[in-house]
A and B are shown apart, each in its own frame.
Chain A
């Protein structure tokens, strides 16, 4: 799966939780889920669950801990897919 495809799929996943829609206009690796998209932290757990479903992977708590930006999420997804 290409990086571009991962990021496109991620964007669809986070959309329903975004409080600051301007943040979606420039959705890229640097985009911060809390600061740029204003996703609240409980919904960030929902994002993690949706990512697990979408990519058929399991994200343990150690990985979840560092999932704060689109780039973080992309790297975690890539690593988990590789490990499958």
Chain B
């Protein structure tokens, strides 16, 4: 179970979404809106919550083989800013999400296993370029591996044994690409 999400803040902060009440109403719960308003930097915090919801949604969708949906409000977040961690609740399930926020990007990730992740600068990477980056990072022999998305858009890394699909999560926004892959021996 793995899910990640990256936000290029250069693109997102300029959208000034915290001032867009209709956007806020569609995406966030009343508690989340209160949390965002009360923060020192509402614009960054709203994108942090968005990315946490996205990461949890991807893990949840993979976990239960669910069809794709667009319902960010059905994922609600609590944040512990001192630990760079939070929890995302959906239905009776919840996901622990770790995050990293700096002046360039927000990265969120949820995983139940130890996970390798990498964030790098790359505008509009092709599927092959992403695969190359993954193989180089994990020391895999690239020609043997390939990336595949199933009918629900859930990606996997497929190795020499085609029956063995390794789960991974991909995210791309603006200048940044990120992937997360649970470590095979964990």
- Chain A residues engaging chain B, CB cutoff 8 angstroms: 19, 34-35, 40-42, 44-46, 48-49, 52, 61, 64-68
Contacts and interface: CB of A to CB of B under 8 A. Distances in A.
B54 interface: yes
B70 A65 contact: yes
B69 A61 contact: no
A49 B23 contact: yes
Given A41-B54, A61-B74, A64-B70, A48 B153 contact: no
Contacts of B26: 45, 48-49, 61, 64
Interface of B: 12, 17, 22-23, 26-27, 50, 54, 68-74, 124, 153, 173
B69 A66 contact: yes
Q: Which 9 A-B residue pairings sit nearest by Cβ, starting from the closest?
A: A65-B71, A65-B69, A49-B22, A45-B26, A61-B73, A64-B70, A44-B70, A61-B71, A65-B70
Given A52-B22, A68-B69, 7 more contacts: A34-B153, A41-B72, A42-B50, A45-B70, A61-B26, A64-B70, A65-B71
Contacts of B153: 34-35
Given A34-B153, A35-B153, A41 B70 contact: yes
8 contacts: A45-B26, A46-B23, A49-B23, A49-B26, A64-B71, A65-B71, A67-B70, A68-B69
